Chains A and B, each alone.
Chain A
Amino acid sequence: MTEAPVLELRGITKRFPGVLANDDIHFDLRRGEVHALLGENGAGKSTLMNILYGLYRPDAGQILLNGSPVEIDSPRAAIDHGIGMVHQHFMLIPVMTVAENIVLAAEPTVGGVFLDTAAARSRVEQLADRFSFAIDPDARVENISVGQQQRVEILKALYRRADILILDEPTAVLTPQESQELFAILQELRKEGMSIIFISHKLNEVLEIADRITVLRRGRRIDTLAASGATETELARLMVGREVLLEVEKAPASPGEVLLEAEGLRVLDDRGLEAVRGLSLAIRAGEILGVAGVDGNGQSELIDALSGLRKTVAGRVRLLGRDVTDASADERLERGLGHIPEDRQRRGLVLDFTIAENVVLHDYDKPPFARAGWTFPRQMTERARALIEEFDVRGGGPETLARSLSGGNQQKVILAREVAREPSVLLAAQPTRGLDVGAIEFIHRRLVRERDAGRAILLVSFELDEILSLADRIVVLYEGRIVGEYGPNVSEHELGIAMTGGRAA
């Protein structure tokens, strides 16, 4: 070790009410390396990075840059020290343009007052060219794809001349293709001498991009190891603290009768454009139907239409043999539909309700939770306690607010609520997005168990791995239509081709 690391964290400790989020963490970053930070949901990764970026103050510990201690008490200070961060939830202003978002708070001006829009645009273009990003500086952020939004976030850091870049779960929202493009960009940045901290739950990605890996578990640093020579199984064990099965074990399906059927569905998206264009599918009892496809090919609108949250323009939906095309979401729930929504924070949970209130969200007005207009909170608490136990929800009891749970545990609450109602048909949209390997393993096993109990499960996922390991039958959605149907043993390559619209001849 001749050169001091560009960044060193010594003994960082951060306590939130009731949680020790970071416990005496040591971490260092060398020039030009990609250092991955791994850990379960709630392990304290984001907290540590927020401390480094000046958003949280540590209770103890020291930050050193190039060997000398620094005080980082605000994002301003972090920026001034050359630290840039791409947050887990993007920090972009949807109604503003790409260029405005990038130059915000460091605007080129004429006479120190007036915005120099031309200069802003050309500087953004220059930066984008240097790293061969394709991006339109005048596009509004709300109109560009998630992958492009992420580039805007990276450009924001580059524009501020960051030489340390923190990426907090950058690939959780990206398609596999976009992830590959991101990795190419990161390699480029590394060549220019940028040092990168990379957080992800996807072990294969971490092994692909990182030089070194630090694993956190429950707020403590477990180990730091070189990426070369490490294996996914080993990393999973370090993260979770036990052996994790990365493969799902399941018997072949034995499908029964058709439980959910859609015929000639046409659905409009929020902008009034046709997102689902004449789609038919049928799901049988005891099978998992996987819907593969790149994000934005009508997945959300399809799920909305099946669950009754969005009107269809044409076509029919039949649930257990009955036509429910015009039935409300509530009626469909009554008739045996379960729905794990894509956006767990906006649609899945009421974040300011307790776990108990959240698990009875559908049935709060029925016995045993209510009778003759009176509710029985005790019964709700009991139900919540049982589900917390059964679904291994960690981080609180029945009276804990959903908001304070980590992402993985929020997802388990939703799964618990939906599965406990014993629906005949379960719609699962992105059920493991942003979850750690342990939580994914749990949810996958549970879905297979529900299948074996005779439920029909529709699984929408952008992760081919997930589709391939769970689905008994796979359809590929492309531009609102089903462009292919495959058995469970189809190759990833073949699916990939269908997903981009080019059907293998």
Chain B
Amino acid sequence: MSTGRTMLAHGRTALEPRRLAIIGIALAALAVWTALPPWMIRWEGVPVALGLLAAAAGLAAVTRGERRLGSWALALAGVATVAAIWAQTKDESSLGAVLNTGLLAATLRFATPLAFAALGGLFSERSGVVNIGLEGMMLMGAFFGIWATIWSGSWVVGVLCAMVFGGLLAAVHAVFSIHLRADQIVSGFAMNFLALGLTGYLFISIYGLQGTPPGVDRIPDVHLGFLHDLPALGGLLGPVFGQLNLLIWVVLALVVIVHVVIFRTAIGLRIRAVGEHPRAADTVGISVSRVRYGAVILSGMLAALGGAYLSVGFVGSFGQNMTAGRGFIALAALIFGKWKPIPTFGACLLFGFASGLAQRLQAEADISANLISTLPYILVLAALVGVVGRSVPPAAVGRPYVKQ
């Protein structure tokens, strides 16, 4: 740490690494822009050259100690070059098909399940328990949500049931990591395998090969027709917010609620205390294990809501392993958002945007769809490389508390 500082102090004479990185990021942005209106440059050499320059600047910044911004420049250089070359093959109208207000609505749709899981994980990790099992808890929510909806015919029952089963799986994780003081990472992984196996088995044995029946009751959309008629912003707000799933509105409210709970209530103060310094919390009379049990179970319930949104809210069916790693992306968002609700939601939006973009590009692009679908994951990697070491987790996270 002190090494970095001394280097900084020495490096004032040369071009500052921080500035180098920012130049790199700007060059990457420029590479994309050249392919879009009004420039519409149609020669690959331009973005490739700009991309290489951007990467060089990023690399130089990284080697000179500016790891965070430097890696951003590097990652963006790659993404931007690919994006620009692809955009060159398109005319103005098909570019419009990708970059429109629908993309913003898609961003919200993709971000929602991530945000439920990430906000859940926030409770767990703030209390000092790593929850790698978010993925499994989402999957439980996705399956039991649709199962109970089909069984009862009501999405309300489905959502409640999803939360119960997500909470149950989280309770198992809690027993292992709090009571039995098992390694929390190992326990979390076990939860994921447990959920994958259990839901996969039940899915096949209940619904067979034809899958969940069609016409399942769905979590309704909220129609806000008046938004379209607003004078100035109607053109933007209408298509984005005019017809969103109920759970998207719930997650938006939840971000605010979690922020208030964590930072403005007595319970939140205690959760944070337990995650930072459990012994100190113990000596003022807080029951560390009770707080941790509560937080972990709550995290499972919220993650399950994210799962239920996928199955009951979004597609109306279930497929094996339908969460496809979203629990892990949620975890990345949590780290990226420094364990704070609002920045964490911001990170979810970013990943949601990448997913939305990837989905649209797959339809429009003639390059490999598989390649494009890696976009969100590349973004996750870049984000994590960029913030690792910068983002300080709760001090006692991952460590079981041993009462004397």
- Which residues of B from 179 to 203 have beta carbons under 8 Å from A? none
Tell me whether B369 is interfacial, beta carbon within 8 Å. Answer: no
Tell me whether A251 is interfacial, beta carbon within 8 Å. Answer: no
Contacts of B282 in A (CB 8 A): 55, 75
Contacts of B404 in A (CB 8 A): 50, 55-56
Q: Mark A277-321, 1 if CB is under 8 A from B, else 0.
A: 000000000000000000000000000000000110100000000
Check A91 against B1 for contact (C-beta < 8 Å).
Answer: no
Contacts of A79 in B (CB 8 A): 284-285
Check B3 against A74 for contact (C-beta < 8 Å).
Answer: no
Contacts of A313 in B (CB 8 A): 6, 9
- Which residues of B from 237 to 286 have beta carbons under 8 Å from A? 260, 264-270, 272-273, 276-277, 279-286
Contacts of A96 in B (CB 8 A): 269, 272-273, 276
- Which residues of A from 28 to 80 have beta carbons under 8 Å from B? 50, 53, 55-56, 74-76, 79
Question: Closest CB-CB distance, B130 to chain A, in whole Å?
Answer: 18
Q: How far is the CA of A313 from the CA of B10 in the complex (A)?
A: 9
Contacts of B279 in A (CB 8 A): 91
Tell me whether B2 is interfacial, beta carbon within 8 Å. Answer: yes
Of A50, A56, A92, A105, which is within 8 A of B277 by CB? A92
Check A85 against B2 for contact (C-beta < 8 Å).
Answer: no
Q: How far is the CA of A310 from the CA of B284 in the complex (A)?
A: 37
- A115 with B269, Cβ < 8 A, contacts A56-B404, A104-B284 known: yes
Tell me whether B5 is interfacial, beta carbon within 8 Å. Answer: yes
Question: Closest CB-CB distance, B181 to chain A, in whole Å?
Answer: 16
Check A115 against B285 for contact (C-beta < 8 Å).
Answer: no
Contacts of A92 in B (CB 8 A): 277, 280
Question: Closest CB-CB distance, B268 to chain A, in whole Å?
Answer: 8
Q: How far is the CA of A96 from the CA of B5 in the complex (A)?
A: 26
Q: How far is the CA of A115 from the CA of B266 in the complex (A)?
A: 5
Tell me whether A357 is interfacial, beta carbon within 8 Å. Answer: no
Check A93 against B285 for contact (C-beta < 8 Å).
Answer: no
Contacts of B260 in A (CB 8 A): 114
Check A104 against B286 for contact (C-beta < 8 Å).
Answer: yes
Q: How far is the CA of A434 from the CA of B292 in the complex (A)?
A: 34
Check A74 against B273 for contact (C-beta < 8 Å).
Answer: no
Check B277 against A311 for contact (C-beta < 8 Å).
Answer: no
Q: Mark A80-104, 1 if CB is under 8 A from B, else 0.
A: 0000010100011111100010001
Question: Closest CB-CB distance, B125 to chain A, in whole Å?
Answer: 14
Question: Closest CB-CB distance, A48 to chain B, in whole Å?
Answer: 14
Question: Closest CB-CB distance, A333 to chain B, in whole Å?
Answer: 19
Check B280 against A91 for contact (C-beta < 8 Å).
Answer: yes
Q: Mark A136-178, 1 if CB is under 8 A from B, else 0.
A: 0000000000000000000010001000000000000000000
Check A107 against B269 for contact (C-beta < 8 Å).
Answer: yes
Tell me whether A106 is interfacial, beta carbon within 8 Å. Answer: yes
- Which residues of A from 261 to 278 have beta carbons under 8 Å from B? 268, 270, 272
Tell me whether A109 is interfacial, beta carbon within 8 Å. Answer: yes
Of A50, A100, A105, A272, which is within 8 A of B285 by CB? A105
Contacts of A134 in B (CB 8 A): none
- A270 with B280, Cβ < 8 A, contacts A96-B272, A115-B265 known: no
Q: Mark A96-126, 1 if CB is under 8 A from B, else 0.
A: 1000100011110100011100000000000
Question: Closest CB-CB distance, A380 to chain B, in whole Å?
Answer: 29
Contacts of B285 in A (CB 8 A): 74-76, 79, 105
- A91 with B283, Cβ < 8 A, contacts A96-B273, A104-B273, A268-B9 known: yes
Question: Closest CB-CB distance, B385 to chain A, in whole Å?
Answer: 24
Check A310 against B264 for contact (C-beta < 8 Å).
Answer: no
Contacts of A114 in B (CB 8 A): 260, 264-266
Q: How far is the CA of A268 from the CA of B2 in the complex (A)?
A: 8
Of B9, B266, B272, which is within 8 A of A113 by CB? B266
Q: How far is the CA of A311 from the CA of B8 in the complex (A)?
A: 13
Q: How far is the CA of A96 from the CA of B284 in the complex (A)?
A: 15
- A93 with B266, Cβ < 8 A, contacts A270-B1, A311-B6 known: no
Check A311 against B281 for contact (C-beta < 8 Å).
Answer: no
Q: How far is the CA of A109 from the CA of B281 in the complex (A)?
A: 18
Contacts of A268 in B (CB 8 A): 2, 5-6, 9
Check A100 against B269 for contact (C-beta < 8 Å).
Answer: yes
Check A87 against B283 for contact (C-beta < 8 Å).
Answer: yes
Q: How far is the CA of A106 from the CA of B268 in the complex (A)?
A: 13
- Which residues of B from 1 to 37 have beta carbons under 8 Å from A? 1-3, 5-6, 9
Contacts of B265 in A (CB 8 A): 109, 113-115
Q: How far is the CA of A16 from the CA of B279 in the complex (A)?
A: 20
Question: Closest CB-CB distance, A109 to chain B, in whole Å?
Answer: 5
Contacts of A94 in B (CB 8 A): 276-277, 395
Contacts of B268 in A (CB 8 A): 115
Q: How far is the CA of A94 from the CA of B281 in the complex (A)?
A: 12
Contacts of B264 in A (CB 8 A): 114-115
- A95 with B276, Cβ < 8 A, contacts A75-B282, A106-B284, A156-B284 known: yes
Residue of B nearest to A159 (CB): B284
Q: How far is the CA of A387 from the CA of B4 in the complex (A)?
A: 39
Contacts of A107 in B (CB 8 A): 266, 269
Q: How far is the CA of A55 from the CA of B280 in the complex (A)?
A: 12
Of A50, A76, A109, A311, which is within 8 A of B3 by CB? A311
Question: Closest CB-CB distance, B275 to chain A, in whole Å?
Answer: 10
Q: Taking each of B2, B3, B260, B279, which has the highest tally of chain A beta carbons within 10 Å of its own beta carbon?
A: B2
Residue of B nearest to A89 (CB): B279
Check B6 against A105 for contact (C-beta < 8 Å).
Answer: no
Check A91 against B3 for contact (C-beta < 8 Å).
Answer: no
Question: Closest CB-CB distance, A312 to chain B, in whole Å?
Answer: 8
Q: Taking each of B270, B277, B404, which has the highest tally of chain A beta carbons within 10 Å of its own beta carbon?
A: B277
Q: How far is the CA of A456 from the CA of B9 in the complex (A)?
A: 33
Question: Closest CB-CB distance, A94 to chain B, in whole Å?
Answer: 8
Q: How far is the CA of A160 from the CA of B3 in the complex (A)?
A: 44
Q: How far is the CA of A139 from the CA of B205 in the complex (A)?
A: 59
Q: How far is the CA of A76 from the CA of B272 in the complex (A)?
A: 19
Residue of A nearest to B280 (CB): A91
Residue of B nearest to A274 (CB): B9
Check A104 against B6 for contact (C-beta < 8 Å).
Answer: no
In addition to A56-B404, A114-B265, 8 A-B residue pairs with Cβ atoms within 8 Å of each other are: A93-B276, A96-B272, A96-B273, A105-B273, A113-B266, A114-B266, A156-B284, A313-B9
Can you name 23 A-B residue pairings with CB atoms under 8 Å? A50-B404, A55-B404, A75-B284, A76-B285, A91-B279, A94-B276, A96-B269, A100-B269, A104-B269, A104-B273, A104-B286, A105-B281, A105-B285, A109-B266, A114-B260, A115-B265, A115-B268, A268-B5, A268-B9, A270-B2, A272-B5, A310-B2, A311-B6
Task: Across the A-B interface, give the 4 residue pairs with the lowest CB-CB distance, nearest first.
Answer: A76-B285, A91-B280, A105-B284, A107-B266
